[in-house]
Structure 1
Amino acid sequence: MKKVIIQITSGKGPAECCRAVALVYKLMLKQAARQAIKVQPVEIISAEYKDTYKSATFIAEGNELNSFITTWNGTVQWIAESPYRKGHKRKNWFVGVAVFDVKALPVWNDADVRIETCRASGPGGQNVNKVETAVRGTHVATGIQVLAMDSRSQLENKKLCMERLQAKVMARQAEHLVEQQQQQWLNHHALERGNPVKIIREKL
């Protein structure tokens, strides 16, 4: 099953482009759901106004990724009047969508995790506090920790802990990968206003 990192960015565009990033992100999530593509948010960088993003980065995984990527990879043109500058003549706003291969991420290995059990705190009665049912997982290489104490079953908490820790570590690794490749993307795939892969006409 294919897995990629996708980043939507406003580049150095104004607030309207940041709004377009949020709207494109929303549209991409809807399309991903229709195509049974699993999406895991990595990082959302908010902009000045409510519901505006400088960038949105997520991991996408599924069997229909190629068609999904082809639809979005490149420059997206959003045609709408500015909600922030009434009467502004410009109606064309551009955002960039870049795709990175997750194969560049380190392979996950359960052996890299240190597991510790501890007593759960909070609601649940005396039985919860007397038995070490909570599980803390530490990814040794990064120091990232996750504590799971949802269940009274230590086995179930361990499973939840490993799942959440893997997601958290992958998200951190994805962030680093995007940071490393962002400048390369800006250099080679700068927003080409005259050649959008998709044109959307809708109110901002």
Structure 2
Amino acid sequence: MILLHLTANTGPEECCLAVRKALCRLQNEACSLQLRVELLEQVPSAIAGNFHSVLLALDGEQASALAERWRGSVLWTCPSPYRPGHRRKNWFIGVEVFEAEASSPAGQALRDQDLRFETLRAGGPGGQHVNKTDSAVRATHLPTGLSVRVETERSQHANKRLARALLAHKLSEQARRAQGEARQQRWRQHYEVQRGNAALVFKGEGFEEG
């Protein structure tokens, strides 16, 4: 399983729109490759439908190849749909790629003895659409107390796998934050360099690759 993190970083609302368009494009590409794709997390922006960031899980034979295609900076060239006449037309977003297990602290796989899984009744709308099985899963990392809940799949086994991957990613983020402002500054400098070296370029409102 591969995790992809799409982020507008500190960019304006146009970059958040680019995240939305990139997400749609990436989901379509994953579907054409017969990959399983799950939206694990999303951070909405000020405009409905746009995102500061999203976290995806890709699973399937060509998941790594698709992830590598998107890794790095993505450039969207288009006049601002929110600020008519604005001179800027280049909007950048970043795409980070993580192996699910390798994203845990210090690059080490999560140990089974450090995890606790609980099965829960999945939520949903009323009536016949309610998932009446205990397929939702909460995973807790015992040493830190960090926990996640997943109920996107019908299968408890699939939700357990996704919960483990999401927990590993969150622990990795926590470890990176703990390393302090110096590392954040290095990343900002790296991001600025990457802006001039886009892995993918899309153009126009239709987000066509060019």
Q: Same fold (TM over 0.5)?
A: yes
Relative distance call for 1:113 and 1:29 in structure 2 (3 A) is same
**Which one of 10, 15, 21 corresponds to residue 19 of structure 2?**
21
Of residues 128, 151, 174 in structure 1, which corresponds to 2:169? Answer: 174
5+ residue gaps, structure 2? 178-182
Written as runs of structure 1 = structure 2, the 5 A alignment for 1:1-204 is 3-104=1-102, 105=104, 106=109, 112-113=116-117, 135=134, 139=139, 141=142, 160-181=155-176, 186-187=187-188, 189-191=190-192, 192-203=194-205
Give structure 1 stretches of 5+ with no counterpart.
125-132, 148-158
The alpha-carbon distance between structure 1 residues 165 and 86, as it changes in their structure 2 partners (threshold 3 A), is same
Larger Rg: 1
CA distance in 1, matches of 2:133, 2:110: 27
Q: CA separation of 1:135/1:4 partners in 2, compared to 1, >3 Å: closer, same or farther?
A: closer
Q: Which amino acid aligns with 1:46?
A: P
Letter in 1 for 2:49: D
Distance in 2, Cα, partners of 1:187 & 1:90: 21
TM-score by length of 2: 0.68
Higher relative contact order (CA 8 A, sep 6+): 1
Change (3 A) 1:198 1:113: closer
The two structures have a TM-score, normalised by structure 1, of 0.70
CA contact (8 A) 1:145 1:165 kept: no
What amino acid maps onto 1:194 in structure 2?
G
